[in-house]
Amino acid sequence: MSSGIAFEEPVPHVEENVMKPLPEEQEEIMIKDKALHSSENPKEPEISGLSSGTFLCPDSEKCLSTNASLGKHRRVHIGKKLFTCSECRKCFRSKGELIKHERFHTGEKPFACSECGKCFKRKGELNKHERIHTGEKPFACSECEKCFRAKSVLTKHEKIHTGEKPFACSECEKCFRTKSDLTIHERIHTGEKPFACSECGNSFRSKGHLNVHERIHTGEKPFACSECKKCFRSKGELTAHERNHTGEKPFACSECEKCFRSKGELTKHERNHTGKKPFACSECEKCFGRRHSLTAHERTHTEV
């Protein structure tokens, strides 16, 4: 029985807000989340303008040529140190850094000087040493144009011009340009001498002093005067000697303005003004201003 009324097919009810765009903040979160997941697979980023086989770091936007390079580079950002020393458990970001570190445990020194045969743990140390033989001094001071074999020595020297001495001794308040200089100085107060000679057992406050001393046993004199070719065990001895040729006397007494070629000569002279006598006889406790005076005095006790 049709009444002539047409019935329309029922339309499913759809919530009005389903098709609305996402709120701006939520959309931004979803975009970031998608980017985060895609960055976990570094082979991806198909960025316009990047050639195929280029890997983009999402942290710095730096482009790397291989996936391995990208993995190594990203550890800089995320602080991962995946290579662990089996001896001390110290961790490193790259295999190369670990290999260099392990030489401190093994004592391996694979880099040998072709001139004198001395060996080193690192290529950089060998390069620096070889400049002793070649005379090369590639690091120049912008103030006085004095040149140095190592960047670290130049940095230390430049503080002479600035007067900067930020490291103060807690005992005597004497100030130093570098932390290492302060550490060596502090051993005067503590009496610590951690560097012992394997030949004679003499101990020293610094590795540098030990190195110079060891040349007494080896006979090595690597520092040659360019004027007369005379050779010396230490750079300091050579520098003081060269002033015989130049006539330079850079160390002036603040009391009488007399000048000297070396700091040691000035120190000895200043005792004439201060009356300081740091060398005491162990037998009678008489004191002297110079070591050789003490040595001469001590013979009076041993003479029969």
- CB contact at 8 A, 111 and 120: yes
Measure the CA–CA gap between 78 and 91, rounded to whole angstroms.
14
- pLDDT of res. 204: 92
Compute the distance between CA of residue 28 and CA of residue 149 in angstroms, rounded to an integer.
55
pTM of the model: 0.46
Average pLDDT of the residues in 181-198: 92
DSSP letters for 168-220: E-TTT--EESSHHHHHHHHHHHH----EE-TTT--EESSHHHHHHHHHHHH--
* Residues whose CB is less than 8 angstroms from the CB of residue 186 and which lie 6 or more positions away in sequence, other chains included: 169, 171
Work out the average pLDDT over 129-155.
Answer: 87
154/160 Cα distance (integer angstroms):
10
DSSP state of 287: E
Residues with Cβ within 8 Å of residue 45, at least 6 apart in sequence: 38, 39, 55, 56, 58
| CB distance 272 to 293 below 8 Å | no
Write down the residue that tokens 């005076």 correspond to: 293
Task: Tell whether the model's pLDDT for residue 196 goes beyond 90.
Answer: yes
Asked if 164 contacts 177 with a C-beta cutoff of 8 angstroms, the reply is yes
Q: Which residues of 23-45 are buried (b: 16+ CB within 10 A; e: fewer)?
A: eeeeeeeeeeeeeeeeeeebeeb
Q: Has residue 30 got a pLDDT over 90?
A: no
Tell me the DSSP string of 207-251. HHHHHHHHHHHH----EE-TTT--EESSHHHHHHHHHHHH----E
| Most confident of the following: 19-28, 31-40, 158-167 | 158-167
Distance CA 132, CA 150 (A): 11
For residues 64, 65, 69 and 71, what is the CA-based torsion angle, rounded to 10 degrees?
A: 60
Q: What pLDDT does residue 143 have?
A: 86
What are 51-78's pLDDT values in tens digits? 555 777 765 567 877 877 777 776 665 5
Alpha-carbon distance values, 302 to 121, 283, 297, 298, 299 (Å): 48, 10, 10, 7, 5
| pLDDT of the residue at 218 | 92
Quote the CA–CA distance of 33 and 39 in Å, as a whole number: 10
Q: How much is the average pLDDT of 92-111?
A: 85
Non-local CB neighbours of 278 within 8 Å, separated by 6+ positions: 271, 287, 289
Q: Give the end-to-end CA distance of the chain in Å, rounded to a whole number.
A: 153
Domains detected in the chain: 165-245 (3.30.160.60), 251-302 (3.30.160.60)
**pLDDT single digits (tens) 207-243:** 989 999 999 999 999 888 989 989 999 888 898 899 9
Question: What are phi and psi for residue 288, nearest 5 degrees?
Answer: -140, 155
Of 111, 110, 80, nearest in space to 94 by CA: 80
Determine the average pLDDT of the residues in 130-141: 88
Statement: residue 45 has pLDDT above 60: no
Structural element, H or E, at residue 65: none
| 10 pLDDT higher than 60 | no
